[in-house]
Amino acid sequence: MGDIAFTLPYRERVRLHGRAYRAQQNGHREVGGALLASARGQLRLVFIKNTADRPYRYEMAWGALRRVKAVLMGKGERLMGTFHSHPLGMAKLSRGDRVACSLRASMLVYDVCGREAALWRVAKRGARRVAYRVPLKVAPRRPTKG
């Protein structure tokens, strides 16, 4: 995705916060799913059910991303990676997140308390996986006309 500037549209951030906040209040659960990107770098979130059986964890059913990718065929968006919320932590990748993130994919992490979204890529440096923050613009609310 090279020099594309990524933007999380305001409505997507509002949807993410609403669902993440409700999950946080419901036993410190996480939400997550597929992270899609248009050719212009506009991000879209496709929520996928959390199958984890404990708090502070996000897991999705095997094959869920493959089904999302199949639906995208010819729609002008591509599967860029995944996203999930952190009910209490910051919008940084945990060690488990770095291991789970594919080296060719991105991962968006949302801090529910701080209302911050961060986009990450993971690369190998020797035997270690290192996380790099990718510039992300969170679009502000548009002023209402009137």
131-146: pLDDT as tens digits: 999 999 999 887 666 6
Position 30 scores a pLDDT of 96
Which tokens belong to 17? 């916060």
- Assess contact for 49 and 62: CB atoms under 8 A: no
The number of angstroms, rounded, from the C-alpha of 122 to the middle of its chain's C-alpha atoms is: 14
**Buried b or exposed e, range 125-142, using 16+ CB within 10 angstroms:** eeeebebeebebebeeee
CATH 3.50.50.60 fits 6-138, yes or no: no
Mean pLDDT in each 10-residue stretch from start to end of the chain (146 residues)?
A: 81 97 96 94 96 94 88 84 94 90 91 96 88 93 69
Position 3 scores a pLDDT of 63
d(CA 63, CA 67): 6
pTM of the model: 0.90
